[in-house]
Structure 1
Amino acid sequence: MPPTWQPSAWGKALTSSGDWKLALHGDSVTVTLGGVAIVTAVEDVEAVVVTRGLFWSQIRLEVGEWVSRLYGIRSKDAAAFERAFAASLKSLQLRQRSAEFDAAARRASLD
């Protein structure tokens, strides 16, 4: 089961955040808002901005013109999402560079 994040019960009640959930799985991130899932490739996310508050934080995801602001998440959970997203993106970029290197090495050995 992929890691998921959502607002805490108190955060949901006190910030009027609504019902949302974030999930990272493979090379994609899923934002579920009111039961509707929006799946985006990790590499297509232009910005992840975590604004930390005293008790709860806000996560803002930007994908093209689509911006999602997710309120009411515990600050430590928001930080965990930020770290997990960064690790997922770094892993993807490493795999892409490795594939490019392998392709270049194959071309060089054919010459």
Structure 2
Amino acid sequence: MPSTWQPSAWGKALTSSGDWTLVLHGDSVTVTLGGVDIVTAVADVEAVVVTRGLFWSHIRIEVGEWVSRLYGIRSKDAAAFERAFAASLKALKLRQRTAGFDAAAHRATL
């Protein structure tokens, strides 16, 4: 089940963040800005930076030259996204390592 984040109503009004949605589903991240979906693999994300404020935070996602700044998210929701993204990246790396070890073990037994 995908996890979804977006600005709070107050955060949107007070930070002028506009409408955006951030979805983490499996090994991909989707940022929807102005009705346009931008989908990228978790592995291709170069940086996720969460800057926490007293009430609202902002998330910066960097993929190559593309940088998205998402304002107006509640601080606890931004922290939840940061944890979920880190867990997704860790799980992806573990699956990649396991596949590498399985391939090496298979070659060694042949």
The amino acid across from 1:104 in the alignment is A
RMSD: 0.5
TM-score (norm 1): 0.98
Q: Which runs of 5+ in 1 are unaligned?
A: none
Match of 1:11 in 2: 11
Task: After TM superposition, give the deviation of residue 45 of structure 1 in Å.
Answer: 0.2
Task: After TM superposition, give the deviation of residue 26 of structure 1 in Å.
Answer: 1.1
Query: Secondary structure of 1:54's partner?
Result: coil
Distance in 2 of aligned mates of 1:3 and 1:59:
15
Which runs of 4 or more aligned residues in structure 1 lie more than 6 Å from their structure 2 counterparts after TM superposition? none
Task: After TM superposition, give the deviation of residue 5 of structure 1 in Å.
Answer: 0.1
Q: Which runs of 5+ in 2 are unaligned?
A: none
Deviations 1:20-73 (A, max 9, x none): 000011100000001100000000000000000000000000000000000000
Percent identity between the two aligned chains? 88
Matches within 5 A, 1:1-111: 1-110=1-110
The amino acid across from 1:76 in the alignment is K
The amino acid across from 1:70 in the alignment is L
Number of equivalent positions: 110
TM-score (norm 2): 0.99
